[in-house]
Amino acid sequence: MGIFKMDLLISKTHAVNGNLVSTVSSTSLASQMSVASTKALVEKENKSIITPLALMITAGDAIHNFADGLAVGAAFSIDVNSGISTSIAILCHEIPHEFGDFAALLSTGMSYKKAIVITLLAQTTAFVGLYIGIAIGQQANARQWIFAVTSGIFLYVSLAELLPELVNYYKHLKNRCAVLICENLGILLGTTILLLIAIFEEHIRV
């Protein structure tokens, strides 16, 4: 009889422990699901918020595109050949520039879709600058000022931003010579394209 009571007590204890274990496991599973959902919600909120760095990148890109539009508009106000040559030159530096801005926006935690939309919106300022450049580019003095300002912007971007960034980038590389050769080849290629455009600008026909 005592043995039967002992077995019954042990079985009840195992049943209680089993319920306790199942309760604990259910609680831990629920807590893990709650943490995962909270993390997903936080990540979604972070992607929906535009950081100050992203705003600075977008504002700078918009101003830069506006200046590009001014230069293209002023060039087209001279003649079609000047406008086409200026457009080709600006296109050559805008493609890598926009890829860089897109990558910078992604690095701030922004989603691909939102980064594409913001980049495209920043491009619209180029059309505003284009129309203004065509309108005021008829005057020689205004046209000279437009070319001077846009040239200064291009020089500032290349000398004050790109070169220091390249110097800091080289410090963390192992194959510095290979990267240096590739970048110099790119600079020489761009210089050659601009030189050819300047030489054969009068022969461009549309």
pLDDT digit string (tens) for 134-188? Answer: 888 888 888 888 888 888 877 777 777 667 767 776 677 777 777 778 778 888 8
Which pair of structure tokens corresponds to residue 102? 């897109």
52-78 vs 112-136: helix axis angle to the nearest 10?
30
Domain assignment present for 21: no
Domain assignment present for 138: yes
93 Cβ contact partners less than 8 Å away, ≥ 6 residues apart: 154, 190
Domain assignment present for 27: no
Domain assignment present for 87: yes
Give the total number of structural domains in the chain.
1
Count of Cβ atoms closer than 10 Å to residue 85 Cβ: 19
Which pair of structure tokens corresponds to residue 62? 């918009």
Match 């003095």 to its residue by tokens: 141
- Which structural domain range is residue 132 located in? 49-203
Domain assignment present for 17: no
Which pair of structure tokens corresponds to residue 92? 């050559």
- Summarised one tens digit per residue, pLDDT across range 102-144 is 888 888 888 889 989 998 999 999 999 999 998 888 888 888 8
Find how far residue 104's CA is from the centre of its chain: 4
What distance in Å separates the CA atoms of residue 92 and residue 111, rounded to the nearest whole number?
27
Domain assignment present for 32: no
For the entire predicted model, the pTM comes to 0.65
Match 């020689």 to its residue by tokens: 140
